[in-house]
Structure 1
Amino acid sequence: MAITFDNIAGGELAEKFKMALAQIGRNILDPNMDPEVARGMTINLKFKPKKAGTIDIEFDVKTKLAGFSKSDTVFLIGQDARTGRIEISEYGNREQVTRIEPPAAAYAEVKPVPPVQAYDPDTGEIYEQPQQRGPIDLRQAANK
């Protein structure tokens, strides 16, 4: 009987080849995998001569598959000025907001800072002080 690819080790090598080929096919058809990456298969046969005219054969089949395709998104992050809580959400997805509470020690250390300018807490409008009309004397401003 002649040695062929299909009958080595009772067909085991051919079966491993078919399984690897199916893996590559599934990887190519998977929409989550990078569609442009080349896939590959390596079949290794090692021949180890022995005494008395025998040869031991070792074989393995390895595949090189594509990884996940690259994706991106945008996260928004902010901090609640009153509680110190950090909030992270995905842009365009208002349903999932992750809130991270600051450590308890952070509450004790946070001291309210008086605002430089007064503002309306409902609208956020800053109340501006009336400004002086006319030219500004920069020499006087530098000496203050």
Structure 2
Amino acid sequence: MDISLHDLAGGALQEKVNQAFEQVMKNMQDPNTPWKNKRKINLTLSFEQNEDRTDCTCDISVDTKLASVKPVSTKFCTQKDLTTGKVYAQEYGPGIKGQMSFDDVEKNEIEIDGQIVDTETGEIKEDKSVIDFRNNVKQA
């Protein structure tokens, strides 16, 4: 006895498998999931017959087992105010809050204390217009 899984339930099985396959592929491409975890598509055909054994119902289910999203980690500095007993927490990252990193500098100039600094040379650029003295030279 041969059956075609492609045609079973009017093509509903094939549609469910295609959807599950798409979910698995998207999950595999998600950079927030571990690359090494296996993903699975489980196909279940459950049969239940009547008492006379002349008729049966087939329930079709397609389930996926995907890799879970990796947790995100952060750090907090915690302290307690000894006078009030109140606890404070401040999130911090790899650097000191307000401190610049090389990744923060995308252009050749940054502003520090109101002055423009060339990041390549370290020179402080004055915010004055360029004056062309060639036109102001008097003949002696």
TM range (shorter): 0.5 to 0.7
1:46 matched to 2:46? The reply is yes
Contact 1:35 / 1:69 at 8 angstroms: preserved in 2?
no
Deviation of 1:22 (Å): 0.8
Instruction: Name the stretch that deviates more: 36-45 or 75-84.
Output: 75-84
State which structure, 1 or 2, has the greater radius of gyration over its C-alpha atoms.
Answer: 1
Deviation of 1:73 (Å): 2.6
TM-score, structure 1 length as denominator?
0.55
Instruction: Name the stretch that deviates more: 3-12 or 28-37.
Output: 28-37
The answer to which structure has the higher strand fraction is 2
Q: In percent, how many aligned pairs have the same letter?
A: 31
CA change 1:70–1:52 in 2 (3 A) is closer
CA change 1:94–1:7 in 2 (3 A) is same
Deviation of 1:91 (Å): 2.4
Provide runs of 4+ in structure 1 moved above 6 Å.
none
Give, in whole Å, the separation in 1 of the partners of 2:60 and 2:4. Answer: 14
Give, in whole Å, the separation in 1 of the partners of 2:4 and 2:57. Answer: 16
Contact 1:34 / 1:70 at 8 angstroms: preserved in 2?
no
How many residues get paired?
Answer: 94
The answer to which structure has the higher helix fraction is 1
